[in-house]
Amino acid sequence: MTPFYDPLRSFEDNYANGPFGAFAEPGVAAVAPPAERFLGRPVHRAFGIPAGPLVNAAFCAAAFRHGYDVNVYKTVRTRSHPSHPFPNTLRVHVGGDLSLETARGALLADADFRGTASISNSFGVPSRDPDEWQPDMAAAVAAAGDGQLLVGSFQGTHPAPGAADRVSAYVADHVAAASLVVETGAPVLEMNLSCPNEGTADLLCFDTAAVVRIAGAIKEKVGDVPLLLKLAYFADDSALAALVHATAGIVDGYAAINTIPARLVDAAGRPALPGPGREVAGVCGDAIRWAGLEMVRRLARLRDDAGAGFAIVGVGGVMEASHHLAMRAAGADAVMSATGAMFRPGLGAEVRAARGA
């Protein structure tokens, strides 16, 4: 089966010619009126595809047509930014769960996608210029039908080395990105704090003070538009608690997780991806489900303990409808699947069926 985002093609080829496979077909029949709510909005099912594989409006529209009701437009920036060279996505050979200890070693990665369970992604968070992505994101917003929701994902870009007041400029760039997304009509924002492929060892989500400053500045600007924070896996429970305590009064929810970083090698033990800074890439799919589930449980416990009302979006290793149900049972208000949906595009319809739609 051809995935709707085809890892055997470059990012630009996918962008220009996709989606592929089943997503190039007309879609599934409409369902009964929306039966669930997410962030106060009616949705058929609080299930969809997270930031990444839906690279533009054509992909988002296909996802909406194929039974995915809450979908995220791939992360954008305030200025154009190229993709890492091809390949960006490889099959990663992991037997069972990818523990943090295993991830510290080397994992075999290649282009053999047969029976795919886990993959890597190494894109460098490419973006078109806002002049191009704003009208396209507006088209993706318009493609959402009744009971469907488009989420706009964005992130900030570091100012050039040596620029004056780099911290303030970095904060301002996040605010500008969020404002540009709001201008498209996107009803929900998601700030990506968790991409490991930017050449920095530390992810923004591990810097609570910076997240508080940035999220506060964004909310001041965008007002009532709900803001989700996309988190990495937190090994340190007290760090997660500190982040949630500091931000739960500012933001509307958390999406977790992104990927687990690991060093990828080919059969000869050489780096599997070409170019400097790409030795480590994010692993997603079946092998990280334990981490996504665990983060959802921990976020739900923090929510209960604080008597808070924030939303939780469960992401990571959702490959079939039963995994989605497990995420919901763990406390997720919405669930998303990237790898599973890419290789099993009928998953949206399966989830609707499993939830009685």
Ligand X SMILES: Cc1cc2nc3c(=O)[nH]c(=O)nc-3n(C[C@H](O)[C@H](O)[C@H](O)COP(=O)(O)O)c2cc1C
Minimum CB separation from ligand X for residue 79, in Å?
16
Q: Name the one residue in this structure whose structure tokens are 């795919």.
A: 116
Do residues 288 and 194 make contact, with C-beta atoms less than 8 angstroms apart?
Answer: no
Q: Mask 261-300, x = binds ligand X (CB under 6 A)?
A: -----------------------xx--x------------
Q: Distance between CA atoms of 16 and 80, rounded to whole angstroms?
A: 16
Q: What track of x and - describes contact with ligand X for positions 14 through 53 (by CB under 6 A)? A: ------------------------------------xxxx
230 contributes a contact to ligand X by CB under 6 A? yes
Encoded tokens for 326: 């497990």
Calculate helix-pair angle for 166-183, 208-222, nearest 10 degrees: 40
By CB under 6 A, residue 89 contacts ligand X? yes
Position 75 contacts ligand X (CB under 6 A):
yes
Q: Please give the Cα distance from 212 to 191 (Å, whole number).
A: 12
Q: Residue 128 CB, nearest distance to ligand X (Å)?
A: 13
- CA 330 – CA 324 distance, rounded (Å): 10
Query: Could you say which of 318, 334, 349, 357 contacts ligand X (CB under 6 A)?
Result: 318
Distance (Å, rounded) from C-alpha 197 to C-alpha 122? 6
Task: Give 117's DSSP letter.
Answer: -
C-alpha 218: how far from its chain's center? Answer: 19
Angle at 287 between CA 285 and CA 293, to 5 degrees: 85
Closest approach, Cβ 182 to ligand X, in A, equals 18
Strand duo 260-265 + 280-285: pairing: antiparallel
Residue choice 339, 347, 349, 351 for contact with ligand X (CB under 6 A): 339
3 or 147: whose CB is closer to ligand X? Answer: 3
Closest to 342 measured CA to CA, from 139, 12, 48: 48
- Tell me whether residue 261 or residue 317 sits nearer to ligand X (CB atom): 317
CB of 156 to ligand X, least distance (A): 13
Q: Which of residues 163-222 bind ligand X (CB under 6 A)?
A: 192, 195
Number of residues lying near ligand X (CB under 6 A): 28
* Alpha-carbon gap, residue 293 to 324, rounded angstroms: 10
Where does this chain touch ligand X (CB under 6 A) — which range of 92-100, 297-305, 311-319, 349-357? 311-319
CB of 155 to ligand X, least distance (A): 8
Interface with ligand X (CB under 6 A) = 5, 50-53, 74-75, 89, 121, 123, 125, 153, 192, 195, 230, 258-259, 284-285, 288, 315-318, 337-340
